Amino acid sequence: MPQDIPTAPEGQSRPAATEPVNYRNNDLGAMALPSAQRLPRRPQKSSFLLAETILSDIIGERLVPGDPLPPEREMVEKYGMGRTTVREALRLLEYQGAIQIRQGLNGGPYVQAPDSGHFAKTISFMMRMERTPFEAIVEVRSAIEPMICQLAAERINSEALQELERTIIEMRRIVDDREQVNAFNDLNTRFHSVIAWSSGNPLFHHLADSLHGIMDGAVVGVSYSARRYMGVIADHQLIYDALSERDPQAAYEKMALHLAEWEEYSRRNFADALKLPIP
């Protein structure tokens, strides 16, 4: 697999390079370096420790989504914890997406496969607390998605390719309908999500999937012109062609160019919006 950062293909120019984000000059204030001093660690609550123990048992016992966990009363006896602590631990695991607490006759805790939405909540919370500007996420996307696309070119299957083709066809069908903007954006997100999944790397998949919702330019006022919508479709077609040809280098280049064009468009038309903190 090629390791060098590819340049633009012959005869095809990249958008002009943009200045890197300088957070220290951002109106939001300087980013302080993390302190080297180790902060005193507070003892973890019993419910947190119990949640980690239950999660370890789920993994150790090779339970799969849909498998039931012991009833609450059995957990009290098994772990030697009070009912309140057990309930708090289960609620914590439910919030993290590891289990689902069902109601009714066959209710109780069941193993659940966490999705990227739970990861996204954590990332979004941290960025909002630090008042991270939108352009910081643009940098992350430009850094990781070409590599993801490169991996996908080697590992993508026919089903995923068919799904990518479907999104392009559907985007072409609705592009002129201004009432379908949200649907178009959903298809755009779906296209990138399928590529991330096709990388075969779960961490890339969850990270990219988590960021896509946060990186939606609409949250800070970035919108597309009709010409830009058509450009997105054209870029997606080029990326799809590279993936279908199993060409990692071309896949990297096409995705990098696609994101560079999007960034250049956003900085040219919505420079102030990119400096706004994630809402």
Q: Read out DSSP for 221-266?
A: T----HHHHHHHHHHHHHHHHHHHTT-HHHHHHHHHHHHHHHHHHH
Q: How many helices (H) and strands (E) does the chain have?
A: 11, 2
Q: What is the pLDDT of residue 119?
A: 74
| CB contact at 8 A, 151 and 2 | no
Cβ neighbours of 28 (radius 10 Å): 13
Q: What is the pLDDT of residue 160?
A: 97
| CB contact at 8 A, 207 and 197 | no
Q: What is the pLDDT of residue 246?
A: 97
Domains 46-111 and 117-274 share a fold: no
CA distance 143 to 139: 6
The pLDDT profile of the chain, 279 residues, written as one tens digit per residue, is 333 433 344 444 444 444 555 544 444 444 555 555 555 566 678 999 999 999 999 999 999 999 999 999 999 999 999 999 999 999 999 988 899 999 988 889 999 987 777 777 777 788 888 888 888 888 888 999 999 999 999 999 999 999 999 999 999 999 999 889 889 989 998 999 999 999 999 889 888 887 776 766 556 667 788 888 999 999 999 999 999 999 999 999 999 999 999 889 888 888 888 888 877
Domain locations along the chain: 46-111, 117-274
Which class is domain 46-111? mainly alpha
- 117-274 belongs to CATH 2.40.160.40: no
Q: What is the pLDDT of residue 61?
A: 94
Q: Measured between alpha carbons, how far is residue 60 from residues 31, 54, 67, 256 in Å?
A: 41, 10, 14, 41
For the chain, give percent helix, strand, coil, nearest 5.
Answer: 65, 5, 35
Contacts of 159 (CB under 8 A, 6+ apart): none
Q: What is the pLDDT of residue 27?
A: 47
277: β partners: 133
The torsion of the CA quartet 77, 83, 89, 92, rounded to 10 degrees, works out to 150
Q: Measured between alpha carbons, how far is residue 253 from residues 6, 44, 157 in Å?
A: 6, 47, 20
